[in-house]
Amino acid sequence: MDLDVFVTAHRAEWDRLDQLLRRGGKLTGAEADELVALYQRTATHLSLIQSSAPDPMLTARLTQLVARARATVTGTRRSSWRDAVTFLTAGFPAAVYRSRHWWIPTAVLSLLLAAVIGWWIGTHPEVQSAIGAPAELREMTRPGGQYETYYSSNPAGSFAAQVWTNNARAAAMCLVLGAFLGIPVIGILFLNMLNVGVAIGLMSAAGRLDIMLGLLLPHGLLELTAVFVAAGTGLKLGWTVIDPGPTTRRAALAAQGRAAVGMAIGLALVLFLSGLIEGFVTPSGLPTWARITIGVAAELAFLAYVYVLGGRAARAGETGDLADADRTAELPTAA
């Protein structure tokens, strides 16, 4: 494409679009129709220039024109409480529901790995000795030892905030790093399951596995589920890089990435709840059965939330992506 000839042929249209945009809302009906037609035509011109004869200055000018025209045509919309309610009752649970084929296998395989690590450590004294000296292991696993006092080592409020921050960071890393073919996500999962497996193995070897489970289950059920959802979504994002499906890789990654950002916000709220349980329920003086019951109830409530609200929203077409009006415009391809 001869860029000079192209610019000469269409400069008048771009100038006319700029003129209409400067008039703002003072347009007649015919002028409004003309603005829409020029917007679509200029978007096509921008697409052709970007793909055939990229010129930085011309591209910048047309990009600005298209952005201003789109804002004028579609209008602007302020977020409201209705958006937050829609996100919490439809967008987020639907996104979790739609990614269940990724995070459920992730959860099963991760828990199996933690169980195998715990069994291996608990039944092999030589592995335990490689982890620490006998005196150190006794200090960790004895009544009132490090594993038990960990949950009450700080005031409940500050401990809950610290736990929430750490877990939210881990979940966000799984979501963001998933784009790197999912490899960092596998590493994050392995480290988490290794820590869980080591704790279970050492406490089992000390004959105090029931105490360990009584400390882990109240908050761990919901906390690990949130981590598994984040990891499964990150792995799905990584697979999108490899196999984008029927759309272009860019479009598929954009859609999956926008849904992942929403997932990060929703999972931060879930992890905030698990942090409250870990800070106030796990170290409390409640009987073990009562603490575990609270944890199981929180987990069942989350699963019901995902499968009832999320399943209903997903069947209605909700994907967890932004609404059409909030997405970046897709440039027309027809001249």
The residue ranges of every structural domain in the chain are: 3-76, 82-325
Q: What is the mean pLDDT of residues 206-235?
A: 91
Q: At residue 32, does pLDDT exceed 80? A: yes
Q: At residue 245, does pLDDT exceed 50? A: yes
| pLDDT for position 301 | 97
Q: What is the rounded CA–CA span in Å between residue 14 and residue 44?
A: 12
Alpha-carbon distance values, 263 to 37, 82, 247, 271 (Å): 37, 18, 22, 12
R_g (Cα) of the chain, nearest Å = 27
Q: At residue 313, does pLDDT exceed 70? A: yes
Mean pLDDT taken over the chain: 84
Q: What is the mean pLDDT of residues 239-249?
A: 81
Q: How confident is the model at residue 226 (pLDDT cuts 50, 70, 90)?
A: very high
CB 294 within 8 A of CB 222: no
Query: pLDDT digits over 34-44, tens only?
Result: 888 888 888 88
Q: What is the mean pLDDT of residues 223-252?
A: 86
- In terms of pLDDT, which residue wins out, 233 or 158? 233
| pLDDT for position 308 | 95
Whole-model pTM: value is 0.71
Q: At residue 240, does pLDDT exceed 90? A: no
| pLDDT for position 116 | 96
- In terms of pLDDT, which residue wins out, 304 or 238? 304
Q: How confident is the model at residue 110 (pLDDT cuts 50, 70, 90)?
A: very high
- Helix ranges restricted to H, the chain: 3-22, 29-52, 56-74, 81-86, 92-98, 100-123, 125-131, 134-141, 146-149, 156-177, 183-205, 209-242, 249-276, 288-304, 311-315
Alpha-carbon distance values, 35 to 9, 14, 270, 326 (Å): 18, 10, 46, 20
| pLDDT for position 251 | 77
Within 13 Å and on the Cβ side, how many CA atoms surround 178? Answer: 29
Query: pLDDT digits over 257-312, tens only?
Result: 777 888 888 998 999 999 899 889 988 889 999 999 999 999 999 999 999 999 99
Looking at mean pLDDT, say which of 144-158, 176-190, 299-313 comes out highest. 299-313
Q: At residue 27, does pLDDT exceed 60? A: yes
